Copies of this chain bind each other. A is one copy, B any other.
Amino acid sequence: MSDLLGRLRERGWRLTAQRRVVAEVLDGDHIHLTADEVHARAAERLPEISRATVYNTLRELVHRGEVVEVSTDGRAKRYDPNARSPHHHLLCARCGLIRDVHPTGDPLSDLPPSQSFGFTVSEVEVTYRGFCPDCAI
């Protein structure tokens, strides 16, 4: 996610102040923010930015593979700027904290053809649920 803006411009992405701010918010902390959290942080720098724009921009970034959408608990989707290196998630069931992990092995190989029921599988998402050190007590 380092030179996101440069990569996007090369691919003919129209660079606007709003998009720049959204990209910078995502690039800032490597936290997994919800769309409204992204909007709130973007609005600190660009107060007139609208929610629709943030949603549109996030959808664009997901579509271009620069950001991964993570839906944890059926509540708001969260956006993971660390899309370059494939990874999975460690989720705290109490406080909602998400951490990236890089497990060994390939989960796709754990799905034998006899179990794919004619699906054309393109991605696998693995979520480890438990308690983070602070919540385990």
Contact = CB atoms under 8 A, between A and B. Distances in A.
Interface of A: 69, 71-74, 77, 90, 92-93, 99, 101-105, 107-112, 115-133, 136
A117 B130 CA distance: 11
* Total copies of the chain: 2
A83 to B, nearest CB: 14
Given A107-B107, A110-B126, A119-B132, 8 more contacts: A69-B73, A73-B77, A103-B111, A104-B110, A120-B130, A123-B128, A123-B129, A124-B128
Nearest to A97: B119
Contacts of A99: 117, 119
A116 B123 CA distance: 22
A106 B17 CA distance: 47
B136 A120 contact: yes
